[in-house]
Chain A
Amino acid sequence: MLFDALTLQLGYNATLVALGSALLGISAGVTGTFLFLRKRALVADAISHATLPGVGLAFIVMVSLGGDGRNLAGLMLGSAVSAWAGLLAVQAITRRTRLAEDAAIGAVLSVFFGAGVVLLTVIQNMSSGRQAGLDGLLLGSTAGMLFQDAMIIAGGGAITLALVLLLRRAMTLVAFDAEYARSIGINTDRIDMLTMLLVMAVTVVGLKIVGLILIVALLIIPPVTARFWTERSELVAAYAGAIGGVSGYIGAAISASAPSLPTGPIIVLTCFALFIVSLFFAPERGVLAAYLRHRRFQRRVHIRQGLLALAQEQPVYEPLTIRLLASEGLARRDGVPTEAGRARAAKALRDEHRWHVVHSLPDYEAVSSLYDGLRDIETVLTADQIAEIDTHIGGPKGVPA
């Protein structure tokens, strides 16, 4: 069943939904990246919740004009207008009062959402509203998706994506260093506004498939996931697009393969699964990698400290240090150094003296900043330089030539 869905053999509607979801996922992931880099992920929440009253109003207007209240294009237009109003409200509160953006977002989000719920309740009680199914736009409902709807979603997603690609360089600059961006003549307010407009466009495009509440997940989880795998902003955007696209496609396929699995939530959960895998297993930034790195570092510190203690014939107290020295064959379980341990300890102590010399010589300033108490001195200085430093320490004394 799932295989059929993945290969688009589950019928017309499932195919439309899968392709639409993939495209939505790509544009949400790429657009969301710039919101994430600008550290304004929360704004997506305000935008998405602020769409709801617009949905209700658009329905009422279309019905009162004698049209079909469920026309997707009309609902999208209405939601865009109210999302825009919400965005302006957040901005006005942040600029004209002393309230911080998070407080403004919280206030706008809940008020707009509350107003939207009231409108939907009113619509439910209208004679024409019984079958409106507008609540489907909260969490997405793809059951009755029309070809025309799919085209609107595909077109909207593609246009958004193209605009993001056009603005990516300016948006990256503003996100990294807004003051510098302003100094080279970029209008940062305009770029921020355009970014928000694009986020709004993705939200509106995603209404039908994932719904206005869950679109935030598709905007934010892909870039956060992508960030685990790369240290370059343009790759974060590319990977986020891929992650969003794959989540959309697989999520839609999974939901189509069983009778009552809702599309939007399944897409978000698929995306979340990719996030969890990245969180733990990403090579550099993952939790597991960080843990292993910490353990390796701790091991080096303990061994070094142990060796220095041995070299100065001080007792080693910490059980972990003794255990690590023993496992390297540098000491016995009772803390008495082995032959190899004595040699390494002497070397460690000598390196320590050499570092002291390095610190005192102005010529080695750059090298001396690398000193972390662990590095073998050979990794940063040439043999000649070490020989020169050793002349400051002096060889064994009182030995007849």
Chain B
Amino acid sequence: MRPNSPIKAPAARTEQIILFRVSGQLFAVSSASVQEVRGVDSLSGAAKEISQPSLRKVKHVVRRGENSVYVVNAAMHFGLPPAPAALVFVLRRTRTALLIDGIEKMTTMTRLQALPLAFCHEERGWYRGLTALDQSVVPVVKPDGFLTPDELFLLDAALSQEAEAETSRLAEDAAPGGQDTSITQ
């Protein structure tokens, strides 16, 4: 008789995550979702101001190829006290760049627990779930949860309005005599 071959438990799947801080609070994001990490200073030259009064968490937009990427202040998004941001995560497959305080470390999670159903408000759109790390619990953010489709629509509308206003200003400046404010006597 051939002995039964030992049944091997399947190797636990893991996911590489980045632990980061916003206003002192720890969060996690899948490292696969982060396309780029930049210093805030390196962004300042490329960022353009945008004003959408109902969305105070977005104050800047960056042009990347065909797309406009909106810079979201993570502290304001989560309702945390404001803190000076040092880094920006450009999130893959989204139009979001996230202002954060800093990176804590990179690590691996083996289990992601769905957000308990007792949480029943906006947070359901913010988090993929929760993970336990070193006897602590860390929320794992959803990269596309920082801007809803409605918010993106509002921002795009604000951006095109600003672009139109800019075009008309340039046209007026270029028109002969259009903006000539010189006084001739």
A, B: real partners: no
